[in-house]
Amino acid sequence: MNIKGIKLPLYVVATLLFGIKTYLVYRFLFTLELENTMQEFILFVNPFVSAFLIFAISVWIKRPERQMKYLRYTILLGTLIIYANLVFYRSFSDFITIPQLMQGGNMGDLGSSILSLIKIYDILLFVDVVVIWYLSKKHQERVVTNYPRGGKVCALALSLALMVGNFFLAEMERPQLFTRAFDREYLVKYIGLFNYHVYDIVLHSKVKSQHVFADGSELPAIEDYVDSVIATGDKSELFGVAEGKNVILISAESLQSFVINNTVNGQEITPFLNSLVDDEDTYYFENFYHQTEQGKTSDSEFLTENSLYPLPRGAVFYTHSQNEYKGLPEILGNEGYYSTVFHANNDSFYNRDQMYPSLGYDYFYDVEAYEVNDNNSIGWGLKDKPFFEQSMKYLNTLEEPFYAKFITLTNHFPFELDEMDKSIDRYDSNSNTLNNYFPTVRYMDESIEEFFQLLKDSGVYEDSIIIIMGDHYGISSNHNKAMSMYLEKEEITPYDHVQLQRVPLFIHIPGHGKGEVKSTIAGQIDMKPTILSLLGIEHKNDIYFGNDMFAEDRKEYIALRNGDFITKDYVYTNDSCYDFSSGDIIEEESATKACMALNETIKKELNYSDDIIYGDLFRFVNFDDK
């Protein structure tokens, strides 16, 4: 590149091209909320700051061919990092972490899920890569390759000064930014994607060291907190109502509460589950929230089995499968229960083959236990109807009482379904994801209805309690425009987003006759103590963060993994407090103070749970002696 004999420094060209591209991705492909002009300015500046720091290193490389090679491969690597995060973001509205990369073995099982996230226009993200490769390969004589020492020092000093300036503006606009490691959107928005990844690496190294240096001295403070805030000691009226009964837990993939008692195109979405809402043997929790993070289904399992929070980064099933736990299957095993999982997927997916023994499961019926072919599978594998049907031959052989968990597959992104299996029409919006969601939810509803009948026919039904729980959201915030259209709202507000994290919970006790709709604010953290209470099993010598959902004296909030929380009065999100009933931002000073004060308790609780996992603190506890 030569204009009237003037050579241009290629690292500056690379900085401009890469910076512009990165900003466009931030602004138009990621949905980063910008509240003021300063945030817009920081978002615009940080891509160039990061790019300049990275590409300016090339001026210190003496040999021209190596200098050009550095620029070529650096801009390619940077683009691949952006693209990997973009594809990940399209599915999860989140950014990749180091622990998430450890789950790379899952990629081979994703199949069409990943393909549906790749767009034809994505190729434009590599235009700057082509330009730099072309100039550095074909026109090396037209770019600067020899820099004076003063120019090198100036480039380094300027890049560092810009970085410091970026961090100063970020901290000024968002105080204590680096203490909010669980909020990856904030970090990307204020310091950029690449600095976020560097920070994530540092954070990952730090938490890895926690296991090495933990000595159990952290436990007394955690136990005091649990005893004073969580553990009430009071038994609910339903304590022991299902004593000695089997427990059948259905983990309903991607099932959100907004479909319950709702329609699409005038057609009922979940007729069977709707019937359970009014069933006299069923308790339906209408304000039950998933609390998962990057581990999604495995996080919901972790919450259910341990009454501990999942980690803010990655999946506990991968990062800490060898820890000591006091899992629900282990406790039930001590009470004579046989525990097993039914899931028609590879046993290594989400590292379940390693994690389940740590939780105390006796056996895992994975994909090898099922007959899977092209006719009875789609998307992620075996369809739900044949899954339940084929599972019965194993369920009928289990020694009672048993705890059996069934994890469904069909209602999984990208929500594929054969035409012959569709009972209702797709929705019509700009989001294929939301459009396809309704038929697959209906299919899952029908499969659960058939499963209930199979249980009745086998004679297992009367001696069991059946729990149906949505594991996590199915429709991410990337589809808010279509969701607002479906819900007939002008927009999806931060309050609405939190309320969309509600997932259905049905606790069906055959012959009970006292079921009702419960408005209790509850979450997956409450599953373990609730199940144990229903079975009449005391667990006073345990450390946990949930409550029996039927207890009168229970903590008054549910914390989401990102630090948001819900009470019967407030919804806290995006540093604002909303009225739970109306969704309006609370203006009253006393109410705002009460809401914000609870925020400190939430942080403490999440940190205590993290300390237990990162430090593997249960290895220092003899629960039998407590």
Tens-digit pLDDT profile for residues 201-246: 887 787 778 888 888 999 999 999 999 888 777 789 999 999 999 9
Phi, psi (rounded to 5 degrees) for 290? -75, 150
563 sits in the region (left: phi over 0; alpha: psi -120 to 50; else beta) called: left
pLDDT at 107 over 80: no
Q: How far apart are CA 385 and CA 461, in angstroms?
A: 18
Least confident of 13-22, 205-214, 432-441: 205-214
Coil, helix or strand for 557?
Answer: strand
3-state helix, strand, coil in the chain (%, to 5): 55, 10, 35
The amino acid present at 453, given as its one-letter code, is Q
**DSSP for residue 28:** I
Contact 523, 498 (CB under 8 A): no
Percent pLDDT > 90 in the chain is 65
Say which of 297, 319, 433, 440 is annotated catalytic.
297
Q: How far apart are CA 474 and CA 470, in angstroms?
A: 10
297 is catalytic: yes
Q: How far apart are CA 129 and CA 18, in angstroms?
A: 8
pLDDT at 625 over 80: no
Residue 102: which pLDDT band, with cuts at 50, 70 and 90? Answer: low
pLDDT at residue 106, as a whole number:
52
Give pLDDT tens digits for 457-495: 999 999 999 999 999 999 999 899 999 999 999 999 999
pLDDT at residue 142, as a whole number:
73
- Domains parsed from the chain with CATH numbers: 2-210 (no CATH), 219-625 (3.40.720.10)
Query: Residue 273's Cα: distance from chain center in Å?
Result: 25
Q: What average pLDDT does range 539-556 have in this prediction? A: 90
Sheet holding 338-342, edge to edge: 363-365, 338-342, 402-407, 246-252, 464-470, 505-508, 282-285, 517-518
Q: How far apart are CA 621 and CA 626, in angstroms?
A: 8
Q: How far apart are CA 372 and CA 13, in angstroms?
A: 54
Residue 1: which pLDDT band, with cuts at 50, 70 and 90? Answer: very low
Helix and strand numbers (H, E) in the chain are 22, 21
Residue 604: which pLDDT band, with cuts at 50, 70 and 90? Answer: very high
Give the best-scoring range by mean pLDDT among 39-48, 184-193, 516-525: 516-525
Phi, psi (rounded to 5 degrees) for 59? -65, -20
Q: How far apart are CA 47 and CA 471, in angstroms?
A: 36
pLDDT at 455 over 90: yes
Q: What average pLDDT does range 308-325 have in this prediction? A: 90
Hey, what are 228's tokens? 């004073």
pLDDT at 110 over 70: no
Q: What average pLDDT does range 387-401 have in this prediction? A: 97
The amino acid present at 202, given as its one-letter code, is V
Q: What's the mean pLDDT when you consider all of the chain?
A: 90
Residues 6+ apart with CB under 8 A from 494: 573, 574, 576, 578
The amino acid present at 538, given as its one-letter code, is E
How long is the chain?
626
Contact 314, 294 (CB under 8 A): yes
Percent pLDDT > 70 in the chain is 95
Burial grade of 336 (CB within 10 A; 0-12, 13-18, 19 or more): exposed
pLDDT at 179 over 70: no
